[in-house]
Each structure stands twice: as structure tokens, then as C-alpha cells.
């Protein structure tokens, strides 16, 4: 077999390896979250698997790129198609954790967000569910408030031109629409408590909503607190924005 023929034959093999490794990286990254959600292993182990999957995806993309270059050089059509698929999958898989990392770097390392940093709504019914949670329910004070206000200046209370009871009903309806698990809906105290579980890793974040009567309206405050993790990567602020937008 001539050297040219060996090069031509190599392109599809390299492409197949790249595509296979990219697919393996995607499966591993999916299992990183699924395994953590199902409590097969600690979420930090899931993060390590996710990181390893990202590196494997980049390696697969490099192999696929080399295969694509070879395929173009020797005019190997089938090898080029396989290499292109491997390159696309590898880059797409690596992009997911990379985007998370960029988001984490762009937001403060806090995990407790509220519309009232001076007097945050307090958890009552959820307290037993957080008994083993690493993050305490006590608010972090001025330091956390300063970081939140700098990063999320739009997180402010909502004022509704209706009675407190009507505001309570509307807030409860929004909670149901968002799919949060309601733990308590105390009309007498004008307080709603709920839990939201993230889709991939299954992190549980706790929410408390407080209705305060005003002169001709009702003020609605909300607080979202993660059970684990120093940083929430912006998840709690995003959740509060969704609630306020629907409210």
C-alpha cells in the first residue's frame, strides 16, 4: 500500500476516534449531573466528572480537527463528514462547562439573594428540611448585601395595587406556575415557602415569599437561598427575576 493510500485511510479512522471520544465526553458529562441528582456520588465528584468530560471533549475536538485537515488535504469526503461531526460535538460539549465558568466569574460568590437585604424574609416551615444543609439560613449581613446590590441592582421588592390577600393569591399562583414545590402557604402570616430543584444536578434551593400590607397596596419580598455551594452562579437571582416578572 502506498504512503498516500495510508494517509487517505487514516482520515476516517481519526475522524471516528474523534467522534467516539466526543460522544463519550457528552455521556460522561450528562452522568455527572444525573449521578449527583440520584445521589450516586457527591456533587463535587459530579463536578470533577464534568471537568474531565470537558477536557475529553476538547481532546476529541483536536483529533477531529486533525482528521478534518487530513480529509480535506486528501479529498476524503466520508472522512470529512465524520471529522466535522466530531469537531462540532466536541466543541459543543466543551462549551457548556466553559459558559458556566464564565458566568461564575462574572457574578459574586454568594448564594443568598433577597429583595430586602435590610430585613430578609425568614424561613420557618423549611427549617427542618435544611437541618443538614452546609449553608446556614442566617443572612450574611452588609457584606453580602453590598455584593448583591452591586451585581443585581434590579432585585427589588414588588408593590401591587391590591389587598394583601389578593397579593398572596397571586404570588401563590406564580409559585405553582413556576413548578416550585410548596412547603407552606400561611395566609395568616402572609408567607409562602417553597423548594426549587435544579434540572441537571438536582440542587435544592429554598424560597420564602413575604407579603407586607402598605397604605393602598401590598409589598412582596422574596428570598432564594441555596443549600450547598459558596456561589450559586447567578441561579437565585435568575429565579427571583422570573418570579417578579410573572408577578
Domain-wise residue ranges, the chain: 3-106, 112-246
Residue 13, φ and ψ in degrees, nearest 5: -65, -45
pTM of the model: 0.81
| The pLDDT of residue 79 | 66
Residue 177 or residue 101, greater confidence = 177
Report the alpha-carbon distance of residue 90 to residue 19 in Å, rounded. 8
Q: What is the pLDDT of residues 28-79, one digit of tens each?
A: 999 988 888 888 988 889 889 999 999 999 999 998 888 888 777 765 556 6
Q: What is the DSSP letter of 172?
A: H
Report the alpha-carbon distance of residue 226 to residue 101 in Å, rounded. 18
Q: What is the pLDDT of residues 133-160, one digit of tens each?
A: 999 999 999 999 999 999 999 999 999 9
> Residue 86: which of 6, 5, 10, 12 has the closest Cα?
12
Cell of residue 40, nine digits:
450516586
% of the chain surpassing 90 pLDDT: 66
Q: What is the pLDDT of residues 100-126, one digit of tens each?
A: 888 888 889 999 999 999 999 999 999
The helix (run of H) or strand (run of E) holding residue 1 is: none
| The pLDDT of residue 96 | 87
Name the architecture of domain 112-246: 2-Layer Sandwich (3.30)
| The pLDDT of residue 34 | 87
Question: Is 70 exceeded by the pLDDT of residue 186?
Answer: yes
Amino acid at each position: 500500500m502506498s504512503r498516500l493510500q495510508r494517509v487517505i485511510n487514516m482520515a476516517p479512522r481519526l475522524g471516528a476516534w474523534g467522534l467516539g471520544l466526543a460522544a463519550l465526553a457528552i455521556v460522561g458529562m450528562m452522568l455527572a449531573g444525573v449521578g449527583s441528582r440520584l445521589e450516586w456520588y457527591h456533587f463535587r465528584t459530579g463536578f470533577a466528572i464534568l471537568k474531565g468530560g470537558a477536557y475529553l471533549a476538547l481532546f476529541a475536538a483536536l483529533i477531529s480537527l486533525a482528521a478534518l485537515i487530513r480529509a480535506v488535504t486528501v479529498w476524503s469526503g466520508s472522512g470529512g463528514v465524520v471529522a466535522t461531526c466530531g469537531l462540532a460535538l466536541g466543541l459543543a460539549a466543551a462549551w457548556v462547562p466553559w459558559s458556566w465558568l464564565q458566568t461564575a466569574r462574572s457574578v459574586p460568590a454568594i448564594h443568598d439573594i433577597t429583595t430586602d437585604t435590610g430585613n430578609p424574609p425568614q424561613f420557618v416551615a423549611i427549617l427542618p428540611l435544611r437541618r443538614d444543609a452546609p449553608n446556614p439560613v442566617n443572612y450574611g449581613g452588609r457584606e453580602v448585601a453590598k455584593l448583591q446590590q452591586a451585581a443585581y441592582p434590579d432585585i427589588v421588592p414588588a408593590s401591587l395595587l391590591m389587598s394583601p390577600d389578593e397579593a398572596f393569591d397571586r404570588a401563590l399562583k406564580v409559585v405553582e406556575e413556576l413548578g416550585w414545590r410548596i412547603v407552606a402557604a400561611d395566609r395568616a402570616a402572609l408567607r409562602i415557602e417553597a423548594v426549587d430543584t435544579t434540572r441537571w444536578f438536582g440542587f435544592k434551593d429554598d424560597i420564602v415569599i413575604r407579603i407586607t400590607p402598605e397604605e393602598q397596596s401590598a409589598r412582596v419580598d422574596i428570598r432564594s437561598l441555596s443549600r450547598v455551594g459558596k456561589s450559586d452562579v447567578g441561579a437565585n437571582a435568575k429565579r427571583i427575576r422570573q418570579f417578579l416578572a410573572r408577578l
